[in-house]
Structures are given as structure tokens and as C-alpha cells.
Chain A
């Protein structure tokens, strides 16, 4: 970059924006300039052109780094967790990259000229965004009430980074996100501390004869992210006559705070009246009409009233895209990005209602004596339990999965504040003191230690007499373990075979060195002091910072424990199935093992019924016709290890697991974590840095690579495999044992 950079090369006042600048200022910047020219009351604003973005990423080398990140894995095969990871890493790259000196000087000059000592909003203005064809509100970021050039510059970087947000990567095709062409302009706008704010939809997508006004007290951030329920009015589009009003209970409001904005409780008694009077609704309607006339399309306008003055904050066309996106996978994913308040409410529900209810339900089912039921009653019970299980799976998707966003939200805030070298450093602060799967492994470890120190005990277990063991301490551990943790999915019914498998596992655990002596292959962990994180917040936001960490810790722990709770319900469902199957043993001596649950129910209800058994498809995948040598995934647990691969296609194969082997699987289900202390390394098909397997691998200091989609085809049990958990590589030496 030359030495003669000046602010006017990168900053355009909206008063100076003309048609020919459209490709430099993005959709939002152009719309604001247009409305201002038409005489609408738009706050003072400037636009950082796309040249500033380009200059920044080229000068800092970020363009090449983004390229590497985006091409780390083919995005068509990436799960949403992996897209989130990519976005997190790119965001951190932006945060950590310093402005090139000349660009920084030029931007500072321009920003100082316009906004010295003035609070501003920093908003994204991507090209093509907010066009009539596509509108993806909420994909890119905006920040409000930012004061001081330093803070504005930091938030400009965050807005730039949001060009590569997880949502943008998800909608990359629709947005035509392209490494060579995609750029981002930024609107820096004087912040208006409104008393009531909201949005106006020129045309109700559900009924073209209506317009819609939504309004809240204070700022409209809470409305936009769904934290605050707005008052809603449906108006007749042709003249703005109020058709209906749906009032909201005014209990909260977003207000400016020293560090941006905060959610403030308000007294509904004091705020009984709706945030807008009929006269003001009419003014908002007129504003929307003017915007529509100005652009030629019905508009989605954000506005705010500061005392009596109405400001237009932004305006975009209501997209002509009629496709209903509300039900597709992508919008489901976007619905996971929840606000702190929303997550707090969800936590309260999960903690006080959902988990206790799951425990109660599993407990009640466990107490029931199934063998005392008649065949008909047992069939009813099987059906009921299946329904119960399906209900809880549904709850799992509706509550637990969205709640996992809690620790992701924390990660983002942590990185914004600390800008760490390692974008996953925040995980250190989330490590729980206890997790069900780790607790279970601890008990297994204790049993293994007893076996290690007692030859008689070891012999008995070797002889397959685990259930006859008289060792009181061992018996207590075993009983507790079986009742509390043994999930049916892998341990199956407590029959001879399952106990035999389990005995083998215990013996192998006993043969391996105790966990505390086990040499960890990964680097030593750097302890992180939470106070460092808290110290980055002003006094008024301390409660928020502490509350966020607390929420994130609960969310992180629950990401594992939720599977255990659901596993308990599943176990009770399977217990009924096993009881049913057992009763058919006499009637169908060999085939009873092959019946589906539905067939068992039918047989129990009808003594004459003989089901047809379909041949089970083999779980073995066809062998790959190519030979992999080096596979690239994500480095999810640091360290290096070489060992024989054990590819898990069926749960029962877990029991063959030997010490030092490399666990290769779809994903480490919390119900199969018990083999992890034996594993030399982990390779997972499922991608993500924060999935269960990665979390557990880090707990045990085991190298882990995730996101290798072909792992179970490219690697075969017995292949010698080297796992490079630093670089996310897996090197395969076929046949070498």
C-alpha cells in the first residue's frame, strides 16, 4: 500500500454517495444515502467502502488465511458445527490482525472528523445483501452504541469478519460467497438512543393487503434477536388504518449502557401503554410508504423515535423470494443462534423441569416389574415406552441442542475480549469438575485398580464369574455402575454375553496403567484464570460476564450429560423389548433374536402370529477401491500417537478394544466413552472442535482428529495409523500391524 493513503479513499459520507458508488458501499449504505436524498430523517452516517476491506485483508495476508480456512474441508460435506468452527477461527484472525499503519491512519482521520466523541452504530453493508431477490437479515453483524475511534475500528473488523460468519457460510450459495469477489462495506452511523423503536413491513408476506408494525420500548435490538416480545399492529396497506393490535407485556427493554447496550427490567405497570400511539403508528406507516415509493418495492424498515423525532435506521426490500425457508435445515440452524436471555430462560427450564422429569420418568420405568405383566400388558408397555422415548428425543432436539449454543456464545464473547492465539482457549474455562461420562470412567478405573491389586478377583473375572464376585468393595462399585450408568445401547441386557464382554473390558483396563500414571501425549494445559476474562468487563457488566460463564459451563457439561439422561430412558425402552423378546424364545427358538420391536408387539398380542423376518443389511461398508495414505480433518485434540486402528461399525466391537488402539468411529457417543482411557488416539467422521469426542479426548490428553468423512472406509481395523492432533492429519499404513 502506498504511503499517500487518505481517508477519502475509503470513507464516503452518505451525503456524497451516488449511484456509481453502489458497488463500493453495499446495499445498506446505498439505501440510507438514497433515503437521505429523498429527505427522510436518517442519522448522520459514513460508509467505509469495500476498498477498506480489500486493503485490510490483502495487506495483512488474511485473504490467504481465509482461503486456507474455507478450503480446510469441502463445505458440502461439513456439518453446522464445522461451519461454526470455521467462522470462529476466521473471526479470531480478524480480531488478531492489526490494521496496516497507513490504512489505520487514513481510517482514524476520517472517523475522527465525523464522530469524535460521538456514539455510533457500526453496521454491515454487504454487496448484494438487502437486494430485492435475496434478503438474509441477521447473517452479518451490526454493533450499536460504540464510542471512540479505537472501539469503532475494532467493531469494523468484527463486521468485516461477519462476511464469513457461520450463517454466511451456510448460505454461501445464495449469497454467492466467493473468496475472490466477496467484500464488505461498513456503515458507521450516529447512534440514536430511541425511546421506542421497531420495524415496519410494507407488505405482510401472509396477506398482501396488510402492512405490519412491530414496536418495543427502548432500542430495537431485543426485537430483532427475539429477546423481547413486541407490540404488533396489522394495518390496511392502502391507507394505514389499524386493523388489529396484539399487545405485549412490557417487562424488559434494551437500553444504552456504558459498554453498548443492556437488557433492563421495566415495570409493566409503569409501561402499561403500548410503545406507539395511533398517531405515531401513522407516522411510521407514512415513513414506510415513502421508503417504498423511493425504491419501488415494499420495504422492511428499522426506525426509532427519540422523543418526538422519527429516525430511519435502515431499509431493505422485502424479499421477493417466496420459498418458505422456515422449515429447512438452514433456518433450523439459524434458530440455534440464541441470545443470552433466551438461553438463560432455556437453562432454567432444562434444570428445573426437563432433567428432573427425565430422571423421574426413567426411575418410574425402572421400578416396574416387567416380568409380572401379561403378554398383552407388556405389548402395551413396550408401545408406551417407545412413545415416551420418542417424546424425549424430540425434547432433546428442541431444548438440549439449542442450549449447546450457550458455550459457543461464550466462546465468541471470550475471543472478542481476549483475542487469544488459540481460538479454542475458552474451552479451558468450561472444563467441568464432573461429567457423567467421566464419572463413569472414574468408577471403571476404581474397579480396574481393585482387579490390578487382587489376583483372586482377577481370576474370578477371567473365569467369567463377575456376578459371583464376593469382594464387597468391588461388588458395590459394580452394582452402582450397572444400575447408574450401563446404558443398554452398548451393554445390552445383563445376560451372560454382555457380562462376559464387560469382564474382558475390565481386565484390559486393569492391565493398562492407571490413569494418573498414563503419560499424556498432548502438551501441558495452560491454566486460564477466569478473572482475566471478567477484568475485561466494566463494573456494570460484571454480572453479565459471570452469568455468561456460568451458563456456558452448564451448557458444556450438559452437551454430554444430556445423552446420558436420554440413554437412561432408552435403556428402559429396551428393557421392555428384551422382556418381550425373551418371552418369544420358546415360540421361535432361533428367530426371536431377529424380530423387530413391532413384530414382538404383534406376537405378544396374537399367539398365532408368525412374523416374516427380513434379512438384515450388513453394516459393513463396501471396501474403498482406493488406498488412503494421509487424511485431513480438524485438529480437535493436540498430540501425536501411532497405533493399530479399531474401526467401530457396531457397538459390540467396542468390547474388543485393546489398549493403545486408535478408535475410529462415526462419533464418540457419550455412552461409549468408557473405552477412551484405553485409546491411543481418536479419529471421528463427524466434524467439530466441540463435539463430545473432542471434549473427552482433550480431558484425557489424547490426540484427536475429527471430520474425516471417509474414515471408516479409508481405514481398516488393524491398519497402523498415526494421528497428528496438532495438524489434524491421519496417516495410514495399511496392513502394518
Chain B
């Protein structure tokens, strides 16, 4: 079961370019849509943000985040076909040695974001995922730690 579930999560994460990042601002939730990649072992989710954004400040102040990816198509089929994956974990800025490799992988997936990503005012972040919550077939909810 766990293996199937992991496969489903992997497929879902690979199928989408954008996910919803939830951070905390003055104890209130704050969501942003970000372009991301995930690692093969599902342990990491990598995304970028400009340094003067609200989410950057939130991430610096409060690393725990929630990250949602789904396969909606905005049709009635969504109620039985849509898969929703929520990752819970801590986000931290990727610096120095780790940066180059993560940047390379990120740009491989999102080559059109090169100018944005390479800007000195853009930061690369990585979520170390601790838990995945998966919703499928409307109300089937499963979770696993990673």
C-alpha cells in the first residue's frame, strides 16, 4: 500500500508545474502559487522566491510550511479523479554548495524561469518533507511519513 501511495505521490508531483505554498504571517495563513520540483525519493520540494516578497519574510520567520499539489481540471470529473497531495515540513534557504545542483535541476524543469531564478534578488528554498497527506477519489485520505 505504502509503495503504491508513494508512486501516486511521485506521479502527482511530477505531473504539475505549480503548487500552493502555505506560510505563516503574524499567525495567519498566507498562500502563494510557486513553480517547484521534487526529489525522486520525495524527501524534498524545491521552489524559488524573490527576496522582497511576503512569503520570503514568512519563511525566514517561520520555517514550517504546508505545500499542496493537485491534479484538478476544473470539471465534474475532479470529484472522483482529482488527486491532492499535501506535504508538511520545514523550508530553508539553499545556499552555497547545494545551490548549484538544485538550481540545475530546477531549471531543467522550468527553463523559461532562468532570468528570474538567476537574479541576485531571487532565493532558492527547499522543503524537507516530513509527512505527505494524499486525498484521492473524493474522500479517501491517507498519509505517510517520510
CB nearest neighbor in A for B119 = A726
Residues of B close to A629: CB separation below 8 A = 54
Q: Known contacts being A523-B120, A640-B121, A726-B120, is A64 close to B50, with CB within 8 Å?
A: no
Q: Does A116 contact B (CB under 8 A)?
A: no
* A65 and B121 alpha carbons, distance in the complex (Å): 20
Chain B positions 93-134 with a Cβ under 8 Å from a chain A Cβ: 111-112, 114, 116, 119-122
Contact of A722 among B52, B112, B116 (CB under 8 A): B52
Closest chain A CB from B117 CB (angstroms): 10
Interface flag for A729 (CB, 8 Å): yes
| A727 with B122: CB separation less than 8 A | yes
| Residues of chain A from 708 to 737 with CB closer than 8 A to chain B in the complex | 722, 724, 726-727, 729, 731
A638 CB contacts on chain B under 8 angstroms: 120
Contact A724 B112 (CB under 8 A): no
Contacting residues, chain A, for B52 (C-beta < 8 A)? 640, 722, 724, 729, 731
What residues of A have a CB within 8 angstroms of the CB of B51 in the complex? 640, 724
Q: Given contacts A630-B53, A731-B52, A731-B53, is CB(A726)–CB(B112) below 8 Å? A: no
A68 at interface, CB cutoff 8 A: yes
Q: Kindly state the separation between the CA atoms of A629 and B52 in the bound complex, as whole angstroms.
A: 11
Whether B112 pairs with A68 at a CB distance below 8 angstroms is yes
With known contacts A729-B52, A731-B52, A724–B111 Cβ distance under 8 A: no
Least CB distance, A629 to chain B, in whole angstroms = 8
CA–CA, A629 and B50, complex, Å: 14
Judge if A67 is at the interface, Cβ distance under 8 Å.
yes
Q: How far is the CB of B34 from chain A (nearest CB, A)?
A: 15
Q: Is B116 a contact of A727 with CB atoms below 8 Å?
A: yes
User: For A65, what are the chain B residues with a Cβ–Cβ distance below 8 Å?
Assistant: 111-112, 114
B53 engages A727 (CB within 8 Å): no
Whether A729 pairs with B50 at a CB distance below 8 angstroms is: yes
CA distance A726 to B51 in the complex (A): 11
Q: Is there a chain B Cβ closer than 8 Å to A61's Cβ?
A: yes
**Pairwise interchain contact A64-B119, C-beta atoms closer than 8 A:** no
Once bound together, how far apart are the Cα atoms of A638 and B121, in whole Å?
A: 10
The digit string for A621-658, where 1 denotes a CB below 8 A from any CB of B, is 00000000110000000101000000000000000000
In the complex, the answer to whether A64 meets B53 with C-beta atoms within 8 Å is no
Complex alpha-carbon distance, A326 and B125, angstroms: 54
What residues of chain A lie closer than 8 Å to B54, measured between beta carbons? 629
Q: Give the complex CA separation of A729 and B54 in angstroms.
A: 13
Q: In chain A, what residue has the closest Cβ to B107?
A: A61
CB distance from B23 to the nearest CB of A (A): 16
**In the complex, which range does the number of interface residues on chain B fall in?**
10 to 19
Q: Give the docked Cα–Cα distance between A629 and B55 (Å).
A: 13
A61 touching B116, Cβ below 8 Å: no
With A630-B53, A724-B50 in contact, is A67–B121 under 8 Å at CB?
Answer: no
Interface set, chain B 33-73, CB cutoff 8 A to A: 50-54
Residues of chain A in range 63-84 having any CB-CB distance to chain B below 8 Å: 64-65, 67-68
Q: Is there an interface contact between A64 and B121, defined as CB atoms closer than 8 Å?
A: no
Q: Which residue of B lies closest to A63 (CB)?
A: B112
* Interface pair B119/A61, CB less than 8 Å apart: no
Smallest CB–CB gap between B18 and chain A, Å? 13
Known contacts A724-B50, A729-B50, A731-B52: does B112 contact A61 (CB below 8 Å)? yes
**In the complex, what distance in Å separates the CA atom of A65 from the CA atom of B120?**
20
Q: Which residues of the partner chain B approach A727 to less than 8 Å between Cβ atoms?
A: 50, 116, 119, 121-122
Q: List which A209-229 residues lie within 8 A (CB) of chain B.
A: none
For residue A640, which residues in chain B have a CB less than 8 angstroms away from its CB? 51-52, 120-121
A720 shortest CB reach to chain B, Å: 11
* A726 touching B121, Cβ below 8 Å: yes
Which residues on B sit within 8 Å (CB–CB) of A724? 50-52, 119, 121
Q: Tell me the smallest distance from the CB of B110 to a CB of chain A, in Å.
A: 8
Whether A67 pairs with B116 at a CB distance below 8 angstroms is no
Q: Once bound together, how far apart are the Cα atoms of A731 and B120, in whole Å?
A: 16
Whole-angstrom CA separation of A343 from B21 in the bound complex: 53
Closest A residue to B116 by beta carbon equals A727
The chain A residue with its CB closest to the CB of B54 is: A629
Q: Could you tell me the distance between the alpha carbons of A387 and B51 in the complex, rounded to whole angstroms? A: 53
Please name all residues of chain A whose beta carbon is closer than 8 Å to the beta carbon of B120 when the two chains form the complex: 523, 638, 640, 726
Contacts of B111 in A (CB 8 A): 61, 64-65
Smallest beta-carbon distance B98→chain A, Å: 22
B7 to chain A, nearest CB (A): 27
CB closest chain-B residue, reference A640: B121
Which residues does chain A contribute within 8 Å of B114, judged by CB atoms?
65
**Bound Cα distance from A44 to B128, whole angstroms:** 62
* Complex CA–CA separation, A630 to B53 (angstroms): 8
Nearest-neighbour CB distance to chain B for A305, whole angstroms, equals 48
Closest residue to A635 on the B side, CB-wise? B119
Kindly list chain A residues whose C-beta atoms are within 8 Å of the C-beta of B121.
Answer: 640, 724, 726-727
A61 surroundings in chain B (CB, below 8 A): 111-112
Closest CB-CB distance, B9 to chain A, in whole Å? 26
Cα–Cα, bound, A523→B111 (Å): 24
Query: Which of A65, A67, A68, A724 has the largest count of B CB atoms less than 10 A from its CB?
Result: A724
Tell me how far the C-beta of B112 lies from the nearest C-beta in chain A, rounded to whole angstroms: 4
Between A64, A67, A638, A727, the greatest number of chain B beta carbons within 10 A of the residue's beta carbon is seen for A727
Question: In the complex, what residue of chain A is closest to B114 when comparing beta carbons?
Answer: A65
A420–B51 Cα distance when bound, in Å, is 26
Interface residues of A in 638-687 (CB under 8 A from B): 638, 640
Compute how far the CA of A731 lies from the CA of B54 in the bound complex, rounded to whole angstroms. 10
Can you sample 7 A-B contacts with CB below 8 Å? A65-B112, A629-B54, A640-B121, A722-B52, A724-B51, A724-B119, A726-B122
Given contacts A64-B112, A67-B112, 5 further A-B contacts (CB under 8 A): A65-B114, A68-B112, A726-B121, A727-B116, A729-B50
Binding site for A on B (CB under 8 A): 50-54, 111-112, 114, 116, 119-122
State the 4 A-B residue pairs at the shortest beta-carbon distance, nearest first: A64-B112, A726-B119, A61-B111, A65-B112
